[in-house]
């Protein structure tokens, strides 16, 4: 009798960046944090930011490597992605050369290999020349390099298109992308709007803010439209200057734009800010994006990345509980996609 293969689907987890407030306040050390994640069932994938989690980074000691691997084994979790950085302005006197930047990334790739991470998150600061220099090491270790696409960029932004062209020329299977859901939002987070008001924006400008955010054009163009609307109502620019970050931090590309790079997706940042009483993310269509990933055959890790700490104080909410609810929302999208596939197979 033929056996039925389990459906292929993304694997869930989180990035420890979601627990920034708790980490920097000392609520958890590394072991208690790993234990809490395991107990809450928000694994199995664990992503960390190298420079935020490991004091010696980009180097890692043999003692840390052993303790890290032992921790994950003990609590039955899996390393999903190591977020690495290229700090082009590391020196005071000049920017790093390509050789220096490549060396900086190579040290981080070495550490990712020692720690057992199959993927690293890179950033747009890595030029095509730097990428080409580090690819042989990534290939040697079998580590995939996922350049993050984060708001205000999208899959078809000029800067991303240049990276896609560079990838095509280099032609390595380890090169890919890490989409961040902040690029494909349909609304500004309600909590962020309240924070803007708390920090000085008049409440009567909320409708103008939302209207400007939904316009076409660059983030600066749309902010200028909002500034003009505020000025027309008698508000000085200094009373709304802090709102400009909302046009850069929250992108409004279409969810379907991710389809262009799905074959090159090696890791996913499932960014979210809030979960409402109905169990939805009020500014991001999480189920739709998860369906797109399933339909595109993505079976890698999806890291829940709560970034509400940009407008929430420590202890104001419990990010662990929020991530649990977020995972339920993600599974809703996965299950909907799998059900559609099953219905299609039956009808075919």
pLDDT in tens, 230-248: 999 999 999 999 999 999 9
Considering the domain boundaries, does residue 1 fall inside one? no
Number of domains in the chain: 2
For the entire predicted model, the pTM comes to 0.95
| Residue 348: pLDDT band with limits 50, 70, 90 | low
Looking at the fold, whether 39 and 185 belong to one and the same domain comes out as yes
CATH number at residue 52: 3.20.20.150
Question: With contact defined as beta carbons under 8 Å apart, do 258 and 182 qualify?
Answer: no
CA distance linking residue 28 with residue 66, whole number of Å: 20
Confidence of residue 124 (pLDDT cuts 50, 70, 90): confident
Residue 29, pLDDT > 70, answer yes
Confidence tier at 315 by pLDDT (50, 70, 90): confident
Residues 85 and 102 in one domain: yes
- Give the confidence band of 341 by pLDDT, cuts at 50, 70, 90: confident
Q: Are residues 97 and 226 in the same domain?
A: no
- 241 & 258 share domain: no
Q: What is the mean pLDDT of residues 35-39?
A: 98
252-301 pLDDT, tens digit per residue, is 999 999 999 999 999 999 999 999 999 999 999 999 999 999 999 999 99
My answer on whether 258 and 334 are in the same domain is yes
CA angle (280 as vertex; 274, 285 as ends), nearest 5: 95
Please report whether residue 4 resides in a domain.
no
Tokens matching residue 308: 């509400």
Residue 342 pLDDT greater than 70, yes or no: yes
Let me know: does 334 contact 10? Beta carbons within 8 Å.
Answer: yes
pLDDT given for residue 6 in this prediction: 60
Output the pLDDT for position 1: 39
Q: How far apart are CA 206 and CA 200, in angstroms?
A: 12
| Same domain? 315 vs 237 | no
* pLDDT of residue 306 exceeding 60: yes
269 in active site: no
3-class secondary structure, 235: coil
Q: Which residues contact 40 (CB under 8 A, 6 or more apart)?
A: 320, 321, 323, 324
Domain contains 6: no
| pLDDT averaged over every residue in the chain | 95
Q: Which residues contact 273 (CB under 8 A, 6 or more apart)?
A: 189, 191, 192, 281, 283, 284, 306, 307, 308
Kindly indicate the confidence band of residue 3, based on its pLDDT and cuts at 50, 70 and 90.
very low
Q: Is 234 found in the same domain as 266?
A: no
Output the CA–CA distances (angstroms, integers) from residue 88 to 110, 111, 167, 257, in the order listed: 19, 19, 21, 29
**What integer is the mean pLDDT of 181-210?**
98
Listed range (57-61, 213-217, 293-297, 312-316) with the worst mean pLDDT = 312-316
Q: What pLDDT does 126 receive?
A: 82
* Whole-number percent of the chain with pLDDT over 90: 90
pLDDT for 8 equals 83
- Give yes or no: residues 216 and 295 share one domain: no
Q: Which residues contact 314 (CB under 8 A, 6 or more apart)?
A: 21, 22, 25, 27
Catalytic residue among 150, 269, 309, 326: 150
Residue 107 in contact with residue 58, Cβ under 8 Å? yes
Residues 128 and 182 in one domain: yes
Task: Please tell me whether residues 52 and 87 are part of one structural domain.
Answer: yes
Query: Is 210 inside any structural domain?
Result: yes
Residue 88 pLDDT = 86
Percent of the chain predicted with pLDDT > 70 = 98
Q: Please indicate, yes or no, whether residues 149 and 211 belong to a single structural domain of this protein.
A: no
Q: What is the pLDDT of residue 2?
A: 41
**Are residue 137 and residue 36 in the same domain, yes or no?**
yes
Full domain range(s) for residue 264? 11-189+250-347
Q: What is the pLDDT of residues 125-169, one digit of tens each?
A: 788 899 999 999 999 999 999 999 999 999 999 999 999 999 999
């Amino acid at each position: 009798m033929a056996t039925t293969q389990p459906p292929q689907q993304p694997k869930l987890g989180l990035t420890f960046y979601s627990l920034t407030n708790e980490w920097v306040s000392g609520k958890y050390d590394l072991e208690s944090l790993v234990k809490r994640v395991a107990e809450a069932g928000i694994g199995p994938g664990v992503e960390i930011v190298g420079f935020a989690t490991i004091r010696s980074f980009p180097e890692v000691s043999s003692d840390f490597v052993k303790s890290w691997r032992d921790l994950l084994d003990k609590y039955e979790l899996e390393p999903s992605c190591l977020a690495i950085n290229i700090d082009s302005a590391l020196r005071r006197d000049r920017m790093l050369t390509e050789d220096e930047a490549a060396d900086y990334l190579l040290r981080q790739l070495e550490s990712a290999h020692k720690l057992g991470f199959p993927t690293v998150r890179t950033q747009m600061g890595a030029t095509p020349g730097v990428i080409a220099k580090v690819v042989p090491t990534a290939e040697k270790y079998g580590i995939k390099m996922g350049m993050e696409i984060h708001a205000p960029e999208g899959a078809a932004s000029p800067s991303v298109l240049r990276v896609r062209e560079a990838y095509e020329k280099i032609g390595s299977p380890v090169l890919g992308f890490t989409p961040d859901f902040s690029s494909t939002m349909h609304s500004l987070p309600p909590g962020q709007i309240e924070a803007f008001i708390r920090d000085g924006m008049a409440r009567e400008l909320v409708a103008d803010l939302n209207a400007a955010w939904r316009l076409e054009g660059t983030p600066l163009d749309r902010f200028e439209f909002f500034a003009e609307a505020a000025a027309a109502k008698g508000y000085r620019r200094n009373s709304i200057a802090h709102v400009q970050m909302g046009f850069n931090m929250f992108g409004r590309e279409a969810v379907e734009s991710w389809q262009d790079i799905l074959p090159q997706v090696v890791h996913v940042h499932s960014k979210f800010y809030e979960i409402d009483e109905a169990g939805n993310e009020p500014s991001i269509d999480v189920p739709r994006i998860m369906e797109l990933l399933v339909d595109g055959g993505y079976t890698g890790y999806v890291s829940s990345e709560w970034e509400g700490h940009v407008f929430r104080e420590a202890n104001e909410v419990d990010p662990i509980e929020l991530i649990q609810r977020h995972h339920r929302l993600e599974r809703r999208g996965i299950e909907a996609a799998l059900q559609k596939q099953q219905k299609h197979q039956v009808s075919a």
